[in-house]
Amino acid sequence: MSDLRTKVIKLAHQNPELRPALLPLLREGMDKTATEFKSKEALEAYLKAHPKADRNKHKVKQEYYYERPQKEVDKEVAALDTKKKVLDHVKTLEPEHQKRFHEVHSQIKDNYKNDEHKAHQHALYQVKGEANLKPRDVER
């Protein structure tokens, strides 16, 4: 635990009126990545030199790119103008994308109670967008 974090915790303990301002700062810092590395080799070298480092707080820097133009993907989904067409298209997706479609649909379907087709189409937009986004390692 960092010295600053310890001091903030003590300050929040000693001054309950400051907690509403201090606690979000502590929570915000909890999930941060400590260091990003430009390559897997650089990360492994760091972890070897620092055996007590938490592997989960260090990662290889990544950028993302679209495999196909996103407008093309959006147009493809928009053309599926019925629930049946959307569901038929979902059957053509890879199994992990089909699974993701059903996960997304179950999360959003209540927002589209009056238009089931829109719920299916929205879930497909999400899944196709995620599938179109590809990671690329950054070399610096």
Give 99-138 pLDDT, tens digit per residue.
Answer: 999 999 999 988 888 899 999 999 999 999 888 888 875 5
Q: Where are the alpha helices (DSSP H) in 1-140?
A: 3-14, 19-30, 40-49, 70-78, 83-90, 95-108, 116-132
CA-angle at 103, arms to 100 and 105, nearest 5° = 105
Q: What is the dihedral of CA 89, 92, 95, 99, to 10 degrees?
A: 10
Residue 2: per-residue pLDDT: 63
The tokens for 111 are 């927002």
Say how far apart CA 98 and CA 124 lie, in whole Å: 9
pLDDT at 85 over 70: yes
Mean pLDDT value across residues 34-62: 83
pLDDT at 31 over 80: no
Give 6 or 102, the one with higher predicted confidence.
102
